[in-house]
C-alpha cells in the first residue's frame, strides 16, 4: 500500500489524460477543489457519443436480484435473453454493501453498477463513473420527471445514470404487539418506548444517521436541519446523540433483508426500519406485520445504473441499461425484488396488477415525502455555504464507533 495512494492518484490522472487524448471527450482533469470559494466539481468526463456494436462482454456489479440469469430460480431470468439478443455475455457480481460497490468501481473491472444514492455521488466525484448520454437511453423518457436530476443521480443537471427503481425505508410493526398502530417514528426513538429491546434499525452509516436526522427535523426544529444528508457539526452531534441514546433499546441492526424478515416473523423484532419487500414476505408467511410511512417522513433509496469511467465495454453497458429498464424486464425485477420500477410503463405488465400501487411507483406526492439516500459532502447538499457539513468519511467513522 506504500504505493496505493500514488497509484490511485496517478491512475486517476492517467485515466483522465487517456480519455482526453484517446477519445477527445474530456475538457479537464481531476476533481476541482473549488477555486474562489465555489463548490467542488466532479472531474469532467464525457458521455458516450453513440451506441455501436456490442463488445461481446459486459461486467455487471449489482444488488442481489437485479441481474438474474436463471441460476437462482429457473423461471427468473432476464440475463439470458439479453445475452441472446445483444451478443454481450453478462458477467454478474453481486455486491453486499454500497461501500463495496464504491470500492470496486472505477478501475474498468466493471462496466455498469446499480448504485444506490449513498455511493453514487462519491463515485461521481471520484471520477469512477462517467456521465450518461440520455439520448442513448431508450427508456429514459418513460421515467417520471420527479426521479430525474436528483442529487443521487445527477450533478449540476448532468445525468450520471439511468434510474432503475426505488423504495422507502418504511416502519414495520407487529400488529399483535405494537398497539395502537404507530404513525410516528417516536416508538423507535423515544427513550421510554415500550418496545425497548425489540426495536430494529438498518445497519448503514448514511441511512442510520439520516433516519435520526429526519426525526430531529420534526422534533427539534431549532436545529434547523433542512436535509438529513447535509448536517453541520452541531446537527450531526445531535443525530449521533440520539442514536447513542437509542442504542440500548435496539435489538438488532439488520443488514440483510432475510434477517429482518425472520426477526419480524419470530417477534424478536416488533418495530423498526424496513423495506416493503420484507413486509410482503413476512405477510406471505402469515405473520401479523404491517408497514407505515410515519408522519415525520422517511429515508428512501433510489438505485441508478451507472457506467464505469473506464468501462472496457461501453456499448454493451448501454445495451444492458436499456435492456434492464425495458417495461417487461422492469416488471419482472420490480416483482422479484420488491420495489417501485423506475419505468412506469412496467406497471401494466406486472403479474400482480396492484404492484405499482403497493409500491407507490407513480405517486409523486409519496415520492416527495421521502429523503432519498445521498452521499454527504463537506459542501452541504442543502446549498448552505456559511458552514461545512460532515463528509461521508466522518459519517462512516461515527457509525463504526456507534456500532462497536
- Binding residues for other proteins, rule: CB under 8 A, are 1-9, 12, 31, 33, 40, 59-61, 64-65, 70-74, 91-94, 96-97, 99-100, 102-103, 107, 109-110, 122, 125-127, 205, 250-253, 255-259, 261-262, 265-268, 281, 285, 377-378, 391-393, 396-397, 400-404
- Identity of the residue, 10 or 23, whose beta carbon is nearer to other proteins in the bound complex: 10
Interaxial angle between packed helices 205-219 and 233-246, expressed in degrees from 0 to 180 and rounded to the nearest 10: 100
- Identity of the residue, 233 or 368, whose beta carbon is nearer to other proteins in the bound complex: 233
Closest to 39 in 3D by CA, of 156, 157, 158: 156
The span from the CA of 117 to the CA of 334, in Å, is 18
- Identity of the residue, 265 or 303, whose beta carbon is nearer to other proteins in the bound complex: 265
- Identity of the residue, 214 or 287, whose beta carbon is nearer to other proteins in the bound complex: 287
Instruction: State the minimum distance, in angstroms, from the CB of residue 110 to other proteins.
Output: 6
- Identity of the residue, 12 or 162, whose beta carbon is nearer to other proteins in the bound complex: 12
Closest to 108 in 3D by CA, of 307, 321, 303: 307
Instruction: State the minimum distance, in angstroms, from the CB of residue 199 to other proteins.
Output: 11
- Identity of the residue, 72 or 368, whose beta carbon is nearer to other proteins in the bound complex: 72
Is the CB of residue 188 less than 8 Å from the CB of residue 194?
A: no
Instruction: State the minimum distance, in angstroms, from the CB of residue 4 to other proteins.
Output: 5
Instruction: State the minimum distance, in angstroms, from the CB of residue 377 to other proteins.
Output: 7
The span from the CA of 78 to the CA of 81, in Å, is 6
Closest to 373 in 3D by CA, of 117, 170, 201, 162: 117
Instruction: State the minimum distance, in angstroms, from the CB of residue 152 to other proteins.
Output: 16
Instruction: State the minimum distance, in angstroms, from the CB of residue 140 to other proteins.
Output: 26
The span from the CA of 100 to the CA of 95, in Å, is 6
Instruction: State the minimum distance, in angstroms, from the CB of residue 382 to other proteins.
Output: 17
- Identity of the residue, 316 or 370, whose beta carbon is nearer to other proteins in the bound complex: 316
- Identity of the residue, 108 or 327, whose beta carbon is nearer to other proteins in the bound complex: 108
- Identity of the residue, 140 or 253, whose beta carbon is nearer to other proteins in the bound complex: 253
The span from the CA of 172 to the CA of 280, in Å, is 11
For residue 103 the three cell numbers come to 470500492
- Name, in order, each residue with C-beta under 8 angstroms of 190's C-beta and a sequence gap of 6 or more: none
- Using alpha carbons only, how large is the chain's radius of gyration in Å? 21
- Name, in order, each residue with C-beta under 8 angstroms of 378's C-beta and a sequence gap of 6 or more: 388, 389, 390, 391
- Identity of the residue, 33 or 221, whose beta carbon is nearer to other proteins in the bound complex: 33
DSSP symbols for 186-225: HHHH-TT-TTTTSEEEE--HHHHHHHHHHHHHHH-GGG--
Task: Tally the C-alpha atoms within 13 A of residue 57's C-alpha that lie toward its C-beta.
Answer: 9
Instruction: State the minimum distance, in angstroms, from the CB of residue 273 to other proteins.
Output: 14
Interaxial angle between packed helices 392-403 and 233-246, expressed in degrees from 0 to 180 and rounded to the nearest 10: 20
Is the CB of residue 392 less than 8 Å from the CB of residue 376?
A: yes
For residue 2 the three cell numbers come to 506504500
Instruction: State the minimum distance, in angstroms, from the CB of residue 93 to other proteins.
Output: 4
The span from the CA of 380 to the CA of 230, in Å, is 5
The span from the CA of 319 to the CA of 314, in Å, is 9
The span from the CA of 129 to the CA of 162, in Å, is 12
Beta strand pairing call for 298-308 and 129-130: antiparallel
Instruction: State the minimum distance, in angstroms, from the CB of residue 299 to other proteins.
Output: 18
Instruction: State the minimum distance, in angstroms, from the CB of residue 33 to other proteins.
Output: 7
- Identity of the residue, 51 or 61, whose beta carbon is nearer to other proteins in the bound complex: 61
Amino acid at each position: 500500500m506504500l504505493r496505493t495512494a500514488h497509484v490511485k492518484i496517478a491512475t486517476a490522472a492517467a485515466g483522465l489524460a487517456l480519455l482526453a487524448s484517446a477519445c477527445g471527450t474530456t475538457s479537464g482533469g481531476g476533481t476541482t477543489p473549488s477555486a474562489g470559494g465555489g463548490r467542488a466539481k466532479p472531474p469532467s468526463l464525457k458521455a458516450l457519443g453513440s451506441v455501436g456494436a456490442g463488445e461481446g462482454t459486459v461486467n455487471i456489479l449489482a444488488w442481489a436480484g437485479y441481474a438474474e440469469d436463471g441460476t437462482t430460480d429457473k423461471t427468473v431470468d432476464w440475463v439470458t435473453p439479453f445475452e441472446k439478443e445483444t451478443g454481450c455475455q453478462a458477467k454478474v457480481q453481486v455486491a453486499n454493501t454500497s461501500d463495496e460497490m464504491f470500492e470496486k468501481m472505477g478501475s474498468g473491472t466493471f462496466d455498469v453498477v446499480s448504485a444506490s444514492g449513498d455511493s453514487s455521488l462519491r463515485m461521481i466525484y471520484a471520477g469512477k463513473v462517467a456521465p450518461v448520454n440520455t439520448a442513448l437511453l431508450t427508456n429514459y423518457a418513460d421515467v417520471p420527471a420527479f426521479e430525474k436530476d436528483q442529487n443521487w443521480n445527477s450533478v449540476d443537471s448532468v445525468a450520471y445514470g439511468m434510474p432503475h427503481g426505488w423504495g422507502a425505508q418504511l416502519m414495520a410493526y407487529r400488529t399483535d404487539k405494537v398497539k395502537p398502530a404507530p404513525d410516528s417514528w417516536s416508538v423507535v426513538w423515544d427513550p421510554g418506548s415500550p418496545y425497548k429491546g425489540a426495536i430494529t434499525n438498518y445497519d448503514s452509516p448514511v441511512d442510520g444517521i439520516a433516519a435520526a436526522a429526519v426525526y430531529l427535523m420534526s422534533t427539534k426544529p431549532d436545529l434547523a436541519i433542512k436535509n438529513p444528508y447535509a448536517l453541520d457539526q452541531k446537527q450531526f452531534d445531535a443525530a449521533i446523540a440520539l442514536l447513542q441514546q437509542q442504542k440500548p433499546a435496539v435489538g438488532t441492526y439488520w443488514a440483510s433483508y432475510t434477517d429482518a424478515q425472520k426477526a419480524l416473523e419470530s417477534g424478536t423484532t416488533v418495530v423498526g426500519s424496513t423495506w416493503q419487500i420484507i413486509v410482503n414476505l413476512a405477510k406471505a408467511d402469515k405473520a401479523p406485520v404491517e408497514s407505515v410511512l410515519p408522519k415525520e417522513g422517511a429515508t428512501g433509496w433510489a438505485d441508478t445504473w451507472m457506467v464505469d469511467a473506464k468501462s472496457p465495454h461501453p456499448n454493451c453497458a448501454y445495451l444492458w441499461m436499456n435492456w434492464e429498464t425495458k417495461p417487461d424486464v422492469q416488471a419482472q425485477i420490480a416483482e422479484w425484488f420488491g420495489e417501485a420500477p423506475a419505468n412506469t410503463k412496467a406497471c401494466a405488465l406486472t403479474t400482480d396488477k396492484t404492484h405499482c400501487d403497493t409500491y407507490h411507483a407513480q405517486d409523486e406526492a409519496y415520492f416527495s415525502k421521502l429523503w432519498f439516500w445521498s452521499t454527504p459532502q463537506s459542501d452541504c447538499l442543502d446549498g448552505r455555504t456559511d458552514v461545512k457539513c460532515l463528509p461521508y468519511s466522518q459519517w462512516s467513522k461515527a457509525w463504526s464507533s456507534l456500532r462497536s
